[in-house]
A and B are shown apart, each in its own frame.
Chain A
Amino acid sequence: MDMIRVSGVSFRYVEEWVLKDISFTVKKGEFWGVIGPNGSGKTTLLKSINKTLSPKEGDVFINGANIKEIKRREIARILGMVPQEASIVFPFSVLEVVLMGRSPYLGRLSFEGEKDYAIARDAMEMTDTLSFATRSINELSGGERQRVLIARALAQQPQVMLLDESTAYLDIKHQIAFFDLIKTLNQKEGLTVMAVTHDVNLASIFCDRIMLLSKGTVHCIGTPEEVITESNIKEVYETDVLVDTNPQTGLPRVTLIASSLSDKGSRSKADAAPQL
């Protein structure tokens, strides 16, 4: 079943087109990665999918319905989004912020009920944030705050999770823990995932399909093996990398090449050679 269908979407903020005629289809239960250099349109694409931005041309369909014809509340029950970061000026408690994930289900003048609290508590347990539930959101460290935002998106109980570099500020423990959690939800509950990330290796490990964006267009879409190749990366990122195989998963693994050190590396090899 088609969960998200993007058809000929183009977008520009002012003059320059940020997205140019993008089309693709995400099936229910798939785990997509979206990679590409800065300014390639990754975030704009996510925001066009959940109606934060309105595409100038083209259409987006969720479960077959055009988002132009669905109310935002309805979209918020289907699509959850975790932003890269958020500054919250007013002193809401962590629990209050997580409960906001329940807002698409709340009536106009109603308050959260038992069920909402239970869902929020589960979400906080999953994200390791329950221990600071009563603290104010603006007292937390960047990483802790990010996990609260993840919990809020989980409390939304969406069918699709849109991740906009959601783990960029997390340490490696919480990065892996978060992706493991999302992968588990993906496998057990059929959560569809679309993750924008700069971390090509994370995308390679967790994603079924990867979309490589370049200057607002789709460069290629495919399995990690198909997309993450030295030539693709070279072409889009304009930088040399080594791609070999991840010993744990057998999936492609990218190693960055620092040009300032590459001479040194070859020299040490040369030095070592005669001793063999």
Chain B
Amino acid sequence: MVVNLRKVVLISLTFVFVFVIVAILSISLGTADIGLIKILRGIFGWVSDPVHGWTDTDRVIVFQVRLPRIILAGIVGATLSVSGVVFQAIFRNPLADPYILGISSGSAVGAILAIISGAGLSFLSIPAASFCGALLTIMLVLGIARTGFRLQTNTLLLAGVIVGSFFSAIIMFLVSITQDERLHSIIFWLMGDLSLSKYSEIIIVTPFVIVGCLIIYLHAYHLNLIVTGEETALQLGVEVERVKRLLLITASLITGVVVSVSGVIGFVGLIVPHMMRMVFGSDHRLLLPVSGLFGLSFLVVADTIARIVIAPVELPVGVITAIFGAPFFIYLLRRKGV
């Protein structure tokens, strides 16, 4: 399968269409029954029938609760998927994920500190603390792995693992000294949770994600060459060191940004790129957009399941992605022996 512009656009538009359908279904599902027909009448009857049978409660549920949550789930899913593609390509390892450099642990430490100190009550302070944790981790890992002017991939991987386990130890320590209801918040954050999504978060996160994804897509073709070997990429004209550093930092930053609002949602960044590679091949000019767009729908579906499966109780979405993700991952391992 060889990729051309027409193919990329057509397949991407199909995925956008799928997302719209998924989003509409997701809006209509939930504890409070709004119903698909009412939603559709709301969308298509906007002009002719301004009232279209909606109550004020419907409006609040749709616009203040479900819609921001769906949008944020989509952004998070897309970002983790794109970032997973980048990490898998640069490490030339199909099992890499966005958290491979320890970002999840680093941002968790930040978030937990904010929760414990009680600062979590004020607006956006958990995301801010979490993002600082992620940033610190990135700088630490890149700093440790930097030998001379080159960025050795293996050293980087090791540095990520070490820094990650160091922060995990701190997480364990903080969790063991916390006993009241704050423990519940911590666990929800660690499992990844979208139940408190706000428009303000969307407004802050979106510009980072859009700029980050654009930077990454500009280097889509370079990733194809880097995947076939760094020396080969050099010999085919890619400034490998520069591209590698730029993309690692970009992917880490957008991961840090979304993790700060959603908590650590596992498996998305690992599995979505995998599925897309199986279907659409390894050309990053197609793989990046389809992974991002499929990630949109993927996490919205997972989050909708988390909302409704044992309603009215809600699960952290990370539980759903892990429950479906882990067996799928095992299936991949058995199938390809990667």
Contacts and interface: CB of A to CB of B under 8 A. Distances in A.
Given A72-B239, A89-B93, A89-B94, A111 B234 contact: no
Interface stretch (A25-33, A58-66, A80-88, A238-246): A80-88
Contacts of B281: 91-93, 96
A92 B2 contact: no
B285 A111 contact: yes
B235 A88 contact: no
A100 B225 contact: yes
Interface string A66-81: 0000011111110111
B236 A100 contact: yes
Interface in A96-124: 96-97, 99-101, 103-104, 106, 108-109, 111-112
B31 interface: no
B227 A88 contact: yes
Given A83-B231, A95-B2, A100-B224, A89 B92 contact: yes
B135 interface: no
B227 to A, nearest CB: 5
Given A90-B94, A91-B281, A92-B281, A81 B228 contact: no
A186 interface: no
B235 A50 contact: yes
Interface string B138-173: 000000000000000000000000000000000000
Interface string B179-222: 00000000000000000000000000000000000000110110
Given A72-B237, A89-B93, A111-B285, A96 B2 contact: yes
Chain B interface size band reads: 20 to 34
A192 interface: no
A52 interface: yes
Contacts of A89: 92-94, 227
> Most A CB atoms within 10 A — which of B1, B220, B277?
B1
B225 to A, nearest CB: 6
Contact of A111 (B4, B92, B217): B4
Contacts of B1: 93
Interface in B1-56: 1-5
Nearest to B235: A81
> Most A CB atoms within 10 A — which of B94, B217, B235?
B235
A96 B283 contact: yes
Interface in A216-255: none
Contact of B221 (A50, A90, A106): A106
A156 interface: yes
B232 interface: yes
> Most A CB atoms within 10 A — which of B89, B93, B217, B238?
B238
> Most B CB atoms within 10 A — which of A47, A52, A77, A83?
A52
Contacts of A104: 236-237
Given A89-B93, A92-B282, A111-B3, A156 B234 contact: no
Contact of A91 (B220, B229, B282, B285): B282
Interface in B270-301: 277, 281-283, 285
> Most B CB atoms within 10 A — which of A52, A75, A90, A97?
A90
Interface of B: 1-5, 89, 92-94, 217-218, 220-221, 224-225, 227-229, 231-232, 234-239, 277, 281-283, 285
Given A76-B235, A111-B285, 17 more contacts: A47-B231, A50-B235, A72-B237, A72-B238, A83-B232, A86-B232, A90-B89, A91-B277, A92-B282, A95-B2, A100-B236, A103-B225, A108-B221, A109-B217, A111-B3, A112-B2, A112-B4
9 contacts: A52-B231, A88-B228, A90-B282, A92-B224, A92-B227, A92-B282, A93-B281, A96-B2, A99-B2
